Structure 1
Amino acid sequence: MLLSVVALVVAVLAVLLALGLARQLGVLRRRLAEVERSSPIGDADARRLRAEVDAALSRVAVVRYDAFGDMGGRLSFSAALLDGQGDGLVLTSIHGRGESRTYAKGVTAGESETTLTPEERQAVAAARAGSPTA
C-alpha cells in the first residue's frame, strides 16, 4: 500500500514538473523573442541565447500505465526529459504489488542505445512533440 502511494506521488510530481517546465520554456522563448525585437542584440548573442534555450531539458512528457494486468490505478510511469535536439533521458518506474523498480536510460537524438519499451518510446515522442502527457 505504501509503495502505491509513493508511486502515485512520484507520478503526480513528474506531471507537475513537466507542466512547470513547459510553462517556463514558453516564458523563456517569449522573452528571447522580445529581446531580439527590442534591443540591438547581435546575431552571435542571439544564436548563443537560442543554443542555451535548446540545450535545456525543456521537453518533458509523462506516460502513466498499468505495468501488470492485475494492478489498477496506472501507478507505473515513464517520463522523458529532453532538450531541443532530443537528447536527455527517460525515467521509468515499474510498480508491482510487492516492489517498485526504477530505470534511467539515456537518449540521443530521440533514440537510445538501450531498447526502449513502448511506453518509453511514447514518452520520448510526446516530449519531442512538445506534449507534456501522452
Structure 2
Amino acid sequence: MRRQRVGQDIFRRALLQYWEGRCAVTGLSDPALLRASHIVPWSECVSNAHRLNVNNGLLLSALWDAAFDAGLVSFDDDGAALISDQISSEAGQLLGSASRLRRQLSSEQRNFLRQHRRRWQPQIVLEP
C-alpha cells in the first residue's frame, strides 16, 4: 500500500510540474483542488513505467477529475472536451465553460486518451 502512495506522489509532482501547477482545462491553480488523474487507471496499467508516465495523466480540478474518472468527459486528439449526454445539466453547464485542454497533446497523450475513450464508449460523446 505504501509503495502505491509513493508512486502516486511522484506522479502528482510530475503532473504539477508538467501542467505548471494549473488544471489542464480550467487553469485553476489551487493545489487543494487539483487532482493527478490517470488517463488509463493505475490498476489497468501494464507496468510501473505506465503508472508513473506523465503522459498518462492530466492535472484536473476536482470536478473535472470526478467527471473524467466516471467516463462522463474525455478529450479528442485535439484536446477538445467530449461530454457525455448522461451528465446532469448542472454539471454540464459548469464543465461547458472550459471546453479544451490548455496545451497541445503529445502523441503519447493522444494514445492514452484513445484508450480512455474506448473504455467509456458509448457513454462519452464522440464529437465536441
Q: TM-score, normalised by structure 2?
A: 0.24
- Larger C-alpha radius of gyration, 1 or 2? 1
More strand by share: 1
Q: TM-score, normalised by structure 1?
A: 0.23
